Amino acid sequence: MRGSPTTTSTRTRARDVDRSDTCAVLDSALSDGQITVDEHANRTAAAMTATTLGQLDLLVRDLQKATLRNAVAKARRLDKIWYLAVASAVFAGLIGFLTLSADDSPSPSPPAAAEPVEPLAPIVSSTLNTVTASGIGEFITRYSAKYGTTMIDSANFYDGHASVSRAAAISPNLEEDIDFRGGFTTSEGSTSRLASTTTFDLATVDIDKLAGYLAGASTNLNVPDAEITHISMSSSSQDPRISIYASNDLGASGSMELTPDGRPIRLAPFTPR
């Protein structure tokens, strides 16, 4: 009997059919606009090399299910029906008024046809999920376009927002903090910064390899159903490094460190007590 990711362990070995099914889900998510082309490429590549059901589950867990999409479509249909009903009532009232006042008006001209009112376009948030490789890649692109550089002192990435510390634009002896929530906001004021501070170049981050580490976090860190909670990038007094932190709802957590180009430095998996 065929098993499924919902009834077996996340460490169960994946089959070719499981990888193929996951790719099909990603294809559907791309076609209906849930993920970008880059996200689709990264997730599909990770799916093709996944070895466990847990790794495959992480690639599609944040995607909407068909039932939710159907509910949204139904709500939109109801909105449209309500709008047409109101418009019809208003139009009927207008015709009745013109009919009653016809005796007092010698030659009333026919009412002009009302222009159709288009429903308001949905508001689309520009917030990125910056604990994914594709989200971090897009963040780097926007940061470079905004400031004309990819150099920072440190950065911390969370789901939906990120923070950056860097040399202030007015002087390398001052440090400024930048908050990112779909757009960049520089905090007021600045603090002292040593001229010898080691910087980190965001352009050196290998996004494809980072995607692989994030997809394999559940297995590599021995944290079933792991969620990436925090990613940091910095140099400090050490070499440039990326730190990845993951945990699950049962309290298991682990972390790993790697170089920007994807070489592992340290692995701290969860160890049950």
* Tens-digit pLDDT profile for residues 102-137: 445 555 566 665 565 555 444 444 578 999 999 999
Among 13-27, 161-175, 249-263, the range scoring the smallest mean pLDDT is: 13-27
Residue with tokens 């930048």: 178
Q: In DSSP terms, which residues pair with 201 in a beta bridge?
A: 151
Q: What is the DSSP letter of 109?
A: P
Residues listed for the chain: 273
Each residue's pLDDT tens digit, 43-54: 888 888 888 888
Q: How confident is the model at residue 188 (pLDDT cuts 50, 70, 90)?
A: confident
- CB neighbour list of residue 236: distance below 8 Å, 6 or more residues apart: 154, 198
For residue 184 the two structure tokens come to 């960049």
Cβ–Cβ < 8 Å for 223, 270: yes
Q: Provide φ and ψ at 81, rounded to 5°.
A: -65, -45
159 has pLDDT over 50:
yes
User: What's the pTM?
Assistant: 0.54
| Average pLDDT rounded to a whole number, residues 187-198 | 87
Question: Helix H segments across 101-169?
Answer: 133-147
- CA dist 53 and 185 (Å) reads 40
Q: What average pLDDT does the structure give for the chain?
A: 80
199 has pLDDT over 60:
yes
- CB neighbour list of residue 118: distance below 8 Å, 6 or more residues apart: none
- CA dist 138 and 135 (Å) reads 5
Higher local confidence (pLDDT), 258 or 98: 258
Each residue's pLDDT tens digit, 61-73: 998 865 444 444 4
- CA dist 150 and 185 (Å) reads 17
For residue 207 the two structure tokens come to 């996004």
Phi-psi region of 124 (alpha: psi -120 to 50; beta: other; left: phi over 0): beta
- CA dist 250 and 253 (Å) reads 9
| Buried b or exposed e, range 76-108, using 16+ CB within 10 angstroms | eeeeeeeeeeeeeeeeeeeeeeeeeeeeeeeee
Each residue's pLDDT tens digit, 207-227: 999 999 999 999 999 999 999
